Every structure is written in C-alpha cells, then in structure tokens.
Amino acid sequence: MKHDPARAIFEMKQFGEFGDVNPSVTDSATYTFLQAKTMSDTFHGEAEGCFLYSRHWNPSNKYLADTLAAMEGTEEAWVTASGMAAITSAILQLCSAGDHIVSSMTTYGGTFAFMQNYLPKFNISTSFVDITDLDAVRKAITPDTKIIYTESMTNPMLQISDIPALAAIANEHNVVLMVDNTFTPMIIQPAALGAHVVVYSMTKFINGKNDCVAGAICGSQQFIASLIDVNNGTAMLLGPALDPLRSSGILKNMHTLHIRMQQHSKNAMYLALKMKEAGLKISYPGLPEHKGYETLKKLMNPDFGFGGMLSIDLGTSERASRFMEMMEMNDVGYLAVSLGYFKTLFSNSGKSTSSEVPEDVQHDMGLSEGLVRFSVGLDHDIEHTWKNIQKCLKMME
C-alpha cells in the first residue's frame, strides 16, 4: 500500500503526561537520572528512552522528529535550529577532508555558498552540474565523491530532480543521495523514491507561519545516531538545537500541512493558467510544457497537487522590481524572501535568495535577472488575487 504522509501524521499517538491532547512542552535543559549507571549508558548511546541534555535530545524535539520520520517514511529524524543547520550538519557528517560532492547547479543560494565558498576551507570540493542531465551527473563522480546533492524541485528554477534515477547512480557508485524537499513536502517523498538522506527547511511549508526558523534531517537510524553521537556527531558537537517551544508549535502545524499543500497547489495552478493565457513567460511544473512535468507526474502524490511555487520572467531586474512593488501596494502579497507562508510572497531571485550565486553561474543555470519567484498563498478568493495582478500588469504597459 502506498505511503500516505498525511495519514502517517494523524496516526501518531502523542499525549502529554497528564493526558493532554497536545504533548507538553519541555522546559528543561538537563535531565535527572535515578542511577549513575543509566547516565553513563546514555552517554554511550546504550540507554533507551532516556534524555541527557537538550542539545542532544529532548521530549518536544523527539515528538516532532518522530512525526517527521513518519511523514517521510524514514527510520528516524532529527530537528535543527534552521534549514541551513540541517543541510550543513548532514553534509559535514558525511564528508571529510579530501572528499567531493556532486551538486545541482540550481540550488538555494545559501547551500551554493556553503559548498562553493565554505567547504574548501576543509578541502572538500563540489562539482555543480545540471541535475536533470544524468550523464553529466555520472561524469562528475570521482573516487572521492561522497554525496550527490539536489533539491526535489530546485530553487529558483523549479527543475524536477529524477530521484529514482539519481538514487540508482548513487547506489552504483556507493555514494549518498541527499535531497532537500523544502518546496514539496507530501507532494514528493524522496526516501520512498530512493534518497538516503532528506533535509528540510521547516521554516517554509512545514511550519507555514513564518514565525520561526527550523530545519530537519530524515534518514536511517544509523545515520541519525551518528549525527548525534556525543563523541563525533556533527549535530551534537556543533549544537544547532531547535528550541522546544518552537518544536511544539511546528508539531501542531504539521497536522494541517496536507490541507495547506492542497490549497497552495490549487491556487498556484489557477494563477499559472491565467498567467499563461495572459502571455507571460511562466514556469510552473504543473503545466504540460514545463520540462519537468512528466518527471513530476511520475514522482508525485497527486493528492497534493503540483506545489505552490511558480515564476515569471519580466526580462530585467528593473521591471521585476517595479512589478513587485506594485503587487505589494495592490494587496497581492508581500515583497519578501522565504516561502510557504499563508500570504503570497514574491522576490527577484537573482537579487535575493540566489544572490550568493555568481552572475556567470546564474547565466549558466538560465536564471534571468527579471525572474520573479512566487510562493502562492492560501487565498480563498484566488480570482480576486489574479485581478489585482492583472491591474499591476496593465500599469506596467
């Protein structure tokens, strides 16, 4: 039977210690032991169900991690203080000096900067390729390669990664396929498609409120245990722990994620079709002419649609800026970075979330300086939103 991420969340039996329907929020940095041996065993990872110190584990974070693992269909998960903390911790756990990564050229600017500018300090190199060109991926692999890294739906070009094909290449070369699924929770389930490690910025769709920054790493029990090992676990030793109060809030928001993803997708499809009719240069993976349409159809859970992300190309950054300012003034949404919010957010990717990517690389990936990325919100009257966008387009003429 196909894994249903929404049902997996709803089947979690998580109660507070007094029968609370919501688990109680941990308010402790450290935890007591009734026997000294149990503390010693916990330090060595040999005590089940014990909490040592909140940087390592705490009940609130464990509740959230267990729910994420259930949603993803992985053995375990671990939560972090940001999406970048999840990405960097997972990569550093897998790579040592002299190792190599093959990454999608089209990826979040912070991830690109980490690989291109930061990892060389540790003699870890990265080859950036068109992730949809499987031959290019194969050719980029060397004997030192440890990771193939991609995003299910890439930022900001909205390319669709063929996860099963990439997993086959990874397995053939005994490397780890790591997939950032931030844009497509529930829509795509990378672990079920062969990915070995799945990372998230929970700041975005999973939490959905833009009121906190958080991340997650989902994978095998062995990998998560290695991450939080007290002696050499990257996540344990670098300390990117998520605050338990934030964990509690995200956990409650996860129970509406399936409904929100359906509405984000419904609204984005409506706007994409209207923008196409209006003659705009539109990119949306739910349109048949999108290069990744057939791949996404093959990978996706159709219950949740094609996602809430789309983009249009206005040619120049000046036109993009003017258009975004007009949309904000006409109540379309907010000129802001990030995504997955209940209001529509839009930004000029080349000048914002991809600004860490050098201009020549932006050109190589096909990123126009006039590209406006939309994270379509949960508008009840999306037809009214389109009318406001139309008003802005007429003002641009």
Q: Which amino acid is at 203?
A: T
Amino acid 18: pLDDT: 81
Same domain, 239 and 378: no
Residue 272: pLDDT band (50, 70, 90) is very high
Same domain, 196 and 275: no
Give 374-394 pLDDT, tens digit per residue. Answer: 999 999 999 999 999 999 999
Cα 96 from chain centre: 24
Amino acid 381: pLDDT: 97
Same domain, 214 and 69: yes
Question: In whole numbers, what is the pLDDT of the chain averaged over residues?
Answer: 94
Same domain, 248 and 290: no
Amino acid 59: pLDDT: 93
Among the candidates 254, 269, 288, a domain finishes at: 254
Same domain, 236 and 264: no
Same domain, 107 and 59: yes
CATH of the domain at 328: 3.90.1150.10
> Which residues make Cβ contacts (< 8 Å) with residue 257, sequence separation at least 6?
6, 9, 71, 185, 186, 205, 206, 208
Amino acid 238: pLDDT: 96
Same domain, 222 and 245: yes
Same domain, 278 and 163: no
pTM: 0.95
Domain extent, residue 227, equals: 5-254
- Could you tell me which of 11, 132, 9, 27 has the C-alpha nearest to residue 72? 9
Q: Which helix (H) or strand (E) covers residue 365, if one does?
A: helix 359-365
- Could you tell me which of 336, 312, 287, 337 has the C-alpha nearest to residue 392? 312
* Spatial distance between the Cα atoms of 216 and 209, rounded to a whole number of angstroms: 17
For residue 216, the cross-strand partners are 79, 200
Compute how many other C-beta atoms are within 10 angstroms of the C-beta atom of residue 317: 16
Across 37-158, the runs of DSSP E, i.e. the strands, are: 76-80, 100-104, 125-129, 145-151
- Could you tell me which of 158, 164, 146, 211 has the C-alpha nearest to residue 182? 158
Residue 214: pLDDT band (50, 70, 90) is very high
Residue 368: pLDDT band (50, 70, 90) is confident
Same domain, 205 and 305: no
* Spatial distance between the Cα atoms of 17 and 6, rounded to a whole number of angstroms: 25
Same domain, 296 and 169: no
Q: Report the range of poorest mean pLDDT among 43-57, 140-154, 318-332, 380-394.
A: 43-57
Whether 362 has a pLDDT exceeding 60, the answer reads yes
Among the candidates 212, 238, 254, a domain finishes at: 254
Give 344-360 pLDDT, tens digit per residue. Answer: 999 997 665 556 777 77
CATH of the domain at 157: 3.40.640.10
**Domain count for the chain:** 2
Amino acid 353: pLDDT: 59
Whether 289 has a pLDDT exceeding 60, the answer reads yes
Give 191-209 pLDDT, tens digit per residue. Answer: 999 999 999 999 999 999 9
Whether 222 has a pLDDT exceeding 70, the answer reads yes
CB 129 within 8 A of CB 100: no
Amino acid 1: pLDDT: 54
Q: What is the mean pLDDT of residues 271-275?
A: 98
Check residues 49 and 256 and name the one with the higher pLDDT.
256
> In the chain, what percentage of residues exceed pLDDT 90?
84
Q: What is the mean pLDDT of residues 162-167?
A: 98
Residue 281: pLDDT band (50, 70, 90) is very high
* Spatial distance between the Cα atoms of 217 and 150, rounded to a whole number of angstroms: 14
Among the candidates 254, 271, 288, a domain finishes at: 254
Same domain, 145 and 280: no
* Spatial distance between the Cα atoms of 165 and 169, rounded to a whole number of angstroms: 6
Give 95-125 pLDDT, tens digit per residue. Answer: 999 999 999 999 999 999 999 999 999 999 9
The residue written with tokens 């159809």 in the block is: 297
* Spatial distance between the Cα atoms of 148 and 133, rounded to a whole number of angstroms: 13
Same domain, 265 and 149: no
Amino acid 303: pLDDT: 97
